[in-house]
Amino acid sequence: MALPLPLLMTTPTPTPLPNQQEILVNWSPQESRVAVIEHGAVQELHVERTLERGLVGNVYMGKVVRVLPGMQSAFIDVGLDRAAFLHVADLIGNITSRHADSDAGTAESPAAAAAARPIEKQLFEGQSLMVQVLKDAIGTKGARLTGQISIAGRLLVFLPQDNHIGVSQKIPHRQRDELRERLQSLNAGLAGGFILRTNAEDASDAELLEDIGYLRKTWARIKEAGLRQPPASLMHRDLDLLQRVLRDVVAESTQSIRIDSREQFGKLCDFAAEFMPGMLRKIAHYAGERPIFDLFNVDEELARALGRRVELKSGGYLIIDQTEALTTVDVNTGGFVGARNFDDTIFRTNLEAAQTIARQLRLRNLGGIVIVDFIDMIKETHQAQVLAEFQKQLARDRIKTSVNGFSALGLLEMTRKRTRESLAHQLCEPCAACAGKGVVKTTRSVSYDILREILREARQFNPREFRVIASPRVIEFFLDEESHQLATLSEFIGKPISLQAESAMAQEQYDIVLI
């Protein structure tokens, strides 16, 4: 019997309590946006554009286009703009390293033996094989693939090509053996392995069996598609953003999931009714007059998440710079002078910064290597307290993080797993004026470049006149501060120099026209 849909919500629900979670969904045909609210503030922002939807989790029938023995890797054509990358370790599939929330477990000896085989002994050009996207293409790098397929459900991750049974590290040790034995009993006599996800900790046998059935049906559809589809074709698409949020983010602490689209509300209710009936009561359609993101000023928070500078309540601030290799965070006291002595001022600023940095990593979806330059602390006890607070805040992150502590230079080094583009890379592009440098030449520097270029041209050509076309600021600078230099150069080369402002030009752009 079909479960009844929740009532439509026509007015905003009360603000959630500080320890509760609120999820807001803003949907449009071109873009889905999800904000996760905890402790009254935006903790996570997820954006998925219809034309730029991520590929992580998708299963393809790939075709080997090149094998690189020296790198022990291969390039696979899966029908994308660029060939995807497959390393020999991912070809075999290392369960314990790939599933970050799995316990160590015991590696299967056949896999360990196969991993020692070089890739050129396992793959050849033109070969077809089933692969899954591990990481989306980032920058100039193509997508990363694995040959070990895994299908995520609400409670379990199904490993159809492996017999490994793993348990999330976030589940207490005393429960892991019991859960593993239960799952082995439920899966007795059937091929394939599983990883028990964190939210399977209190699951009943009936719930586990329901998830097992769903995952096996999904795998059967993928195998069937593999028999029919040609190479470089999609066989299975991972869940969309709204479904993934319902599967991965929603927890017992979630008060409600509010969606401002009636159509998506219905689709999400259908998905929940089939796979997660316990969450159905939390889904509500938001029909209020105010835009749903205005309820918690999400758009303002989004704008701040794209900036370099983050203000701290104490008066200090952070400077966050993201490069392709790593992210750096610089902590500054700013105008904070509230403590009795300078050491306390530094300690309190760093303590607040530790809380804010952990939130900004989630909010901006920053991954890879992160270097934090806290203000130097003289007392080791202060340093230990800041580190403890930072680790405490990072423990709330659903993405795996690893903190290496303070280096000899006083820098805190850490990593955060990266699977998708950061928020800034999703929503922004390099500045056309500065080409991503973040700075442009001053008007004085540009004007001197122009003077040198005129002199260079005058030595090669003999025009009637030189005309400088540049941005209004550069032209104004010539007419004001550099008018004498311009007149002196004109007299030296014996040719008139005229000026023309072009508002469409950036500050560093200019043309010198020979008339």
Q: Find all residues with CB under 8 Å of 107, minimum gap 6, and list them.
A: 94, 95, 96, 164
CB atoms within 10 A of CB 40: 12
Residues 256 and 277 in one domain: yes
Residues 153 and 271 in one domain: no
Does residue 249 lie in a domain region?
yes
Mean pLDDT score, 119-134: 92
92 pLDDT higher than 90 = no
Mean pLDDT score, 177-184: 87
14/345: higher pLDDT: 345
Does residue 438 lie in a domain region?
no
Mean pLDDT score, 153-181: 85
Does residue 7 lie in a domain region?
no
Place of tokens 């030449």: 441
Last residue of a domain, one of 203, 221, 239: 239
Q: How many domains does the chain have?
A: 4
Q: Which helix (H) or strand (E) holds 513?
A: strand 510-514
8 pLDDT higher than 80 = no
Mean pLDDT score, 470-498: 92
Structure tokens at 71: 């790198």
| Ramachandran angles phi, psi of 325, nearest 5° | -85, -40
Last residue of a domain, one of 423, 452, 481: 423
Place of tokens 């423990």: 395
Range of the domain at 295: 21-52+242-299
Residues 43 and 100 in one domain: no
- 31-45, 193-207, 251-265, 319-333, range with the lowest pLDDT: 193-207
352 pLDDT higher than 50 = yes
Q: Count Cβ neighbours within 10 Å for each residue of 484-494 and write b for 16 or more, e otherwise.
A: eebeebbeeee
Band of pLDDT at residue 2, cut at 50, 70 and 90: very low
Residues 261 and 363 in one domain: no
> What is the pLDDT, as a whole number, of residue 109?
40
Does residue 3 lie in a domain region?
no
For the segment 40-49, what is each residue's pLDDT rounded down to a tens digit? 889 999 999 8
Does residue 387 lie in a domain region?
yes
Dihedral of CA atoms 194, 198, 199, 205 in degrees, nearest 10, equals 40
- CATH number, domain of 173, equals 2.40.50.140
Residues 45 and 67 in one domain: no
Q: Which amino acid is at 412?
A: L
Q: Which helix (H) or strand (E) holds 44?
A: strand 41-49
Residues 294 and 413 in one domain: no
> What is the pLDDT, as a whole number, of residue 60?
94
Residues 162 and 214 in one domain: yes
Give which of 515, 426, 442 is closest to 481, Cα–Cα.
442
Residues 38 and 112 in one domain: no
> What is the pLDDT, as a whole number, of residue 455?
93
144 pLDDT higher than 90 = yes
Does residue 357 lie in a domain region?
yes
Does residue 311 lie in a domain region?
yes
- CATH number, domain of 28, equals 3.30.420.60
Residues 95 and 173 in one domain: yes
> What is the pLDDT, as a whole number, of residue 512?
94
Residues 321 and 294 in one domain: no
C-alpha R_g of the chain: 29
Place of tokens 């530790």: 354
**What is the overall mean pLDDT for the chain?**
85
Residues 286 and 406 in one domain: no
Last residue of a domain, one of 239, 270, 291: 239
123 pLDDT higher than 80 = yes
- CATH number, domain of 449, equals 3.40.1260.20
Q: Are 166 and 105 in contact (CB under 8 A)?
A: yes
Band of pLDDT at residue 198, cut at 50, 70 and 90: confident
Residues 82 and 221 in one domain: yes
pTM for the full predicted model: 0.69
Does residue 488 lie in a domain region?
yes
Place of tokens 């017999």: 163
